[in-house]
Amino acid sequence: MKCLKIAGISMLRLSRHLAFAAAVAFAIPVLANTFMEDLEQVDKALKTNPSGALPQSLESCLNQRNHAVVLNKMGREARARRALDYCFVSLQIPRREVKKVSPPTQEELQARANLEYEEALTLEPDVVNGLAVYRECAACHEPEGWGHTTGSVPQIAGQHRKVVIKQLADFRAGNRDSVLMAPYATVESIGGTQALADVAEYNSTLEMSVENGKGPGTDLELGESLYRKRCMNCHGENGEGSNDDLTPRIQAQHYKYMLRQFQWMRDGKRRNVSEKMTALSLALDDREISAVLDYSSRLQPAEELRAPEGWKNPDFD
């Protein structure tokens, strides 16, 4: 039988978002080998021919194998896996048994997040490094930390330091989901636990915008009534929240952002909120949710927290 030449293989470069998805794959049961594991089995079979396949079958398998490598390098893994399947069938290659991994429980995710949160609180924050870290955040949150009135990105300027640390720790542990946010919170993007302490400290220096996105303004009387009955005890009379109680400041927060968070609570997608908040999202109807969040979006921070008109972050000049 003639000598078979096996084409070289280079690993697929993954984008930042796909790299994050791979990093949190521990949360998903492993149901199949990876492409590279399958490729290893095919290469071994091509060299040893354990089933005594005809040369024509080996040649056809080699062609499919090399085609699969090209497809995988192009990011077309599903097609690459199908190309390798030809070899498994034609050369009668038994697939390795893959051990299934149970996903972590909600309690385990919370425990991971809490460990990093508690550690971050013990560290001395470095506001200079916090600025360096925040430059990553500014790509979405803007240099001033004001987010977008569309609600796609929240205002984080003025948010309580402990709240920021806790949310970042939750993203990193997989205890809170966000396609946009999660990749930017990873150790690879911003650094270790010290980075959480630093960026939260820097964030606390940012002044708030009161030109945030607001609701329709058509049901504010109902909104105020609901806020005082259902929200004020935790979020404060004026939406100021609490650093020590880890209650977010919702003053001047974008209406559409809060609306989306409530919808995620209802759907079970915002897993790191309290049971009380989840229960509230389920207890209110659509009109009540719109009204109370519209009212909340109009609550104003104290004068000393507000940015002067026309203010731009001087650190980004």
- pTM of the full predicted structure? 0.71
3-state helix, strand, coil split of the chain in percent (to 5) is 55, 0, 45
CA 271, 274, 279 angle in degrees (round to 5)? 95
Residue 6 in domain: no
Contact indicator for 80, 35 with CB cutoff of 8 Å: yes
Query: How large is the average pLDDT for residues 161-176?
Result: 96
DSSP letters spanning 116-135: HHHHHHTSPP-HHHHHHHHH
Residues 38-89 pLDDT 10s: 899 999 999 999 888 888 889 989 999 999 999 999 888 888 888 888 898 8
Token pair 């590279």 is found at: 36
Q: Which domain holds residue 201?
A: 102-206
In a shared domain, residues 108 and 84: no
Residue 306 in domain: no
Tokens (6 digits) for 149: 């009135």
CA gap 175, 113 in Å, rounded:
7
Provide the greatest CA pair distance for the chain.
Answer: 86
**CA-CA-CA-CA torsion sign (26, 33, 85, 61):** positive
Residue 114 in domain: yes
Q: Is the pLDDT of residue 18 over 70?
A: no
Residue 256 in domain: yes
How many domains in the chain?
Answer: 3
In a shared domain, residues 109 and 201: yes
In a shared domain, residues 217 and 195: no
Amino acid of residue 48: T
Q: Give me the chain's average pLDDT, please.
A: 88
Residue 23 in domain: no
Residue 150: predicted pLDDT: 95
Residues 221-275 pLDDT 10s: 999 999 999 999 999 999 999 999 999 999 999 999 999 999 999 999 998 999 9
In a shared domain, residues 193 and 220: no
pLDDT higher for 28 or 58?
A: 58
